[in-house]
Amino acid sequence: MNLCDRNDIQNLLARHGFRFAKSLGQNFLIEDWVPRDIAEACIVDKQTGVLEIGPGIGPLTQQLARRAAKVVSVELDRRLYPILAETMADFDNFTLVPGDIMKCDLKALVAEHFDGLRPILCANLPYQITTPVLTACVESGCFDSLTVLIQKEVAQRICAKPGTADYGAFTLLMQYYTEPELLFTVPNTCFLPSPKVTSAVIHCPVRKAPPVEVVSEAALWRTVRAGFALRRKTLVNSLQTGWPLPKEQLTQILTDCGLRPDIRGERLSLEDYARLANALSAINP
């Protein structure tokens, strides 16, 4: 059985009486170059432990299990368990973890399964939980890299440069923790059922140390969130949503940080936000 052949997949699913659940973001890969290229892109070897989210019927899981020391896949849809038992039967380095990734303790999962291995994350993510999943993964601090197939728009947001429409708070979060790179796009015809949007694969090596120094990460994210809260207003107005200080005082702080008083939040680099957050927390801790 070829897990990326449309007929084989439809036969397998029919035999198990499986119907796609839109609410679970189920779009299965049906072109074999896609899982192969994702597995190549994540840089996996026999010293690597891979956490996969949403294996589906296992096309990417198989590619990963061939290359990795271990693959652990968290799948929420119990109807897929008997299918995975069949498609992954030949791989003794594969473990299925039933459950919801949003309720998993990632640190505990990695510690339990990947002792002595280099832990990475690799997945064709359920698109409706892309942002919270990636946020949890980078904040957990337990992966060496993240390689994910996601909606192209989200990939562009993650990799965006200051001053562009795609640039936002999520960009800065991902770029603070990782060095994201958009590797290639995947047309919607590569999925069953076919989603409306184009997809893309990003590879995000996790930084060993933060790229900027901040007094407190909480103050940095408070500043970033406030900086993007009112996108059409100037930074001073937008900042007031998170730092309720008089306008004159905020203007002075911007000037002290070397920023023009009429600048907009989307123009600031991560370094600018770090400097601003440090100045703000010194005044209003």
Residues forming the site for ligand SAH (CB under 6 A): 24-29, 53-56, 59-60, 74-77, 80, 100-102, 124, 126, 129
The number of CA neighbours under 13 Å toward the Cβ of 110 is: 18
- What's the closest the beta carbon of residue 205 comes to ligand SAH, in angstroms? 22
| 3-class secondary-structure state, position 72 | strand
The nearest distance, CB 105 to ligand SAH, in angstroms, is: 14
State CA 61 to chain mean position distance.
18
Residue 59 vs 265, nearer CB to ligand SAH: 59
Contact between residue 237 and residue 229 where contact means Cβ atoms under 8 Å apart:
no
Q: How far is the CB of 190 from ligand SAH (least distance, A)?
A: 9
Nearer to ligand SAH, 101 or 150 (CB): 101
* 270 token code pair: 């991560």
Nearer to ligand SAH, 197 or 245 (CB): 197
Q: What is the chain's length?
A: 285
Helix (H) or strand (E) holding 51: strand 48-53
Reported as type and span, the H/E element at residue 275 is helix 270-283
Q: How far is the CB of 8 from ligand SAH (least distance, A)?
A: 13
Task: State which residue, 60 or 259, has the beta carbon closest to ligand SAH.
Answer: 60
> Measured from the CB of residue 96, what is the shortest distance to ligand SAH in angstroms?
11
Q: Would you say 133 or 274 has its CB closer to ligand SAH?
A: 133
CB within 8 Å of 271: residues ≥ 6 apart: 212
Q: Taking the complex as a whole, how short is the minimal distance between the CB of residue 271 and ligand SAH, in angstroms?
A: 35
Q: What is the largest CA-CA distance in the chain?
A: 69
Helix (H) or strand (E) holding 184: strand 181-186
By beta-carbon proximity to ligand SAH, the closer residue of 59 and 180 is 59
Q: Which residue is nearest to ligand SAH (CB)?
A: 54
Measure the CA–CA gap between 227 and 265, rounded to whole angstroms: 5
H or E stretch covering 9:
helix 6-15
Q: 186 φ, ψ to 5°?
A: -130, 115
Q: How far is the CB of 35 from ligand SAH (least distance, A)?
A: 6
Nearer to ligand SAH, 97 or 212 (CB): 97
Return the amino acid letter for 209: A
